[in-house]
Amino acid sequence: MPRYKMVNGERIQFTAAEETARDAEEATWESGAFDRAMADLRQRRNALLAATDFNALSDVTMSADMTTYRQNLRDLTNGLSTVADINAVVYPTKPE
Amino acid sequence: MSIIKLNNRAVKDATAVGSITGLGNLVFISRSTASSSSSVSITSGIDSTYKEYIFMFNNIHPATDGTHFDFQATTNGSDFNIATTTTTFEAYNHETSGVTALTYDPNKDHAQDTGYINLIDNIGSDNDQSFSGFLHLFEPSSSVFVKHFLFTGQRITSNDYSANDRTAGYFNTTSAITGLSFKFESGNIDAGTIDMYGVK
């Protein structure tokens, strides 16, 4: 199916060169799907870890529930091999 | 002459307030409507008429789930490849899980990148998902300064987060910017409008 671009409100069909360039972009996007999903998961996981980092200060005693929670966050990326695996990840519940 | 009397902070008996001029206004220039479009380019109407241009993105809907929305600029009307440096951060909140954060990820920044620049990423493609936002481009015709821009966008992600993204940077050129091009990293812009305004 041919592709089209909008230029100043006018719908224009891609040239052959533009189709080839876009095909290459789409292939690059597709090949990076797993890495993007993992990066997204790690970013969210790291934010959750950072939000509880103060529990690891030397003058704070970390509860067993908090220790388990943080370990589960660290283990979140274990065994993931497909984008579907990543999308199915369930974040652990933060203890009170 | 009308009589204006202040009474308990209310203005009473005013029959005329005169006119206020010189405050400027927002001038609508054009609307681009995407319809299964690989890209949307605006190469007309960006010149020295205004010192600031605002682009309003209204419910930009991707054909591909989770794709990123990018843009670039041109100084000659056809080659979109200006060296660009940006930084970005986001705040997000999940619909149900309680996962929430304010984050800065340096991997999303660009430094002197001549490729398309990411404005907002991971946009859901469900029928009710999209992103909206606005982009300010400052003095695109300056022959002295680089061309600064500020973007703010609100999206629903493919995994059901509400995310507010802030991206800012500059096109590192002292040549006049005469056009912008927008596209998703994968798939078409299924639908949505981009309105361009000049700030007078």
| pLDDT score of B5 more than 60 | no
Q: Cβ contacts (< 8 Å) between B30 and chain A: which residues?
A: 8-9
Residue B91 confidence (pLDDT): 97
| pLDDT score of B148 more than 70 | yes
State how far residue B139 is from chain A, nearest Cα, in angstroms: 20
- Contact with chain B for residue A88, Cβ under 8 A: no
Radius of gyration of chain A (CA): 22
Distances (CA, A) of B142 to A61, B31, B53, B135: 58, 24, 13, 18
Q: Cβ contacts (< 8 Å) between A87 and chain B: which residues?
A: 159
8 Å CB contact of A40 and B122: yes
* pLDDT (average), residues B15-38: 86
- The closest of B45, B49, B43, B51 to B76, measured between CA atoms, is B43
Task: Report the alpha-carbon distance of residue B74 to residue B91 in Å, rounded.
Answer: 31
Write out the two tokens for A96: 């009170």
Residue B118 confidence (pLDDT): 96
| pLDDT score of B14 more than 70 | no
Residue B19 confidence (pLDDT): 75
Q: What is the ipTM of this complex?
A: 0.85
| pLDDT score of B11 more than 80 | no
Residue B4 confidence (pLDDT): 53
Tens of pLDDT, residues A32-45: 999 999 998 998 99
Q: How many CB atoms sit inside 10 A of residue A68's CB? A: 12
Confidence at B179, pLDDT banded by 50, 70, 90: very high
Confidence at A1, pLDDT banded by 50, 70, 90: confident
Residue B13 confidence (pLDDT): 61
- Contact with chain B for residue A42, Cβ under 8 A: no
* pLDDT (average), residues B40-64: 97
For all residues of chain A together, what is the average pLDDT?
95
Q: Per-residue b/e over B93-109, b at no fewer than 16 CB within 10 Å?
A: ebeeeebebebebeebb
The letter for the amino acid at B194 is: I
Write out the two tokens for B196: 């361009």
Cβ neighbours of residue B63 closer than 8 Å, sequence gap 6 or more: B36, B125, B184, B187, B188, B189, B190
Residue B97 confidence (pLDDT): 86
Identify from A44, A45, A89 which residue to disrupt to test chain B contact, counting B C-beta atoms within 10 A and taking the largest count.
A44
- Contact with chain B for residue A7, Cβ under 8 A: yes
* pLDDT (average), residues A17-38: 96
Identify from B38, B95, B126 which residue to disrupt to test chain A contact, counting A C-beta atoms within 10 A and taking the largest count.
B38
Nearest CB to B101 within list A3, A36, A47: A47
Residue B2 confidence (pLDDT): 52
Residue A69 confidence (pLDDT): 97
Q: Cβ contacts (< 8 Å) between A6 and chain B: which residues?
A: 32-35, 37, 39-41
State how far residue B8 is from chain A, nearest Cα, in angstroms: 50
In terms of residues, how long is chain B? Answer: 200
| Top-confidence residue, B3 or B185 | B185
Identify from B89, B99, B123, B186 which residue to disrupt to test chain A contact, counting A C-beta atoms within 10 A and taking the largest count.
B186
* pLDDT (average), residues B164-188: 98
* pLDDT (average), residues B160-166: 96
Read off the pTM: 0.88
Tens of pLDDT, residues B124-143: 999 999 999 999 999 999 99
| pLDDT score of B10 more than 60 | no
8 Å CB contact of A11 and B35: yes
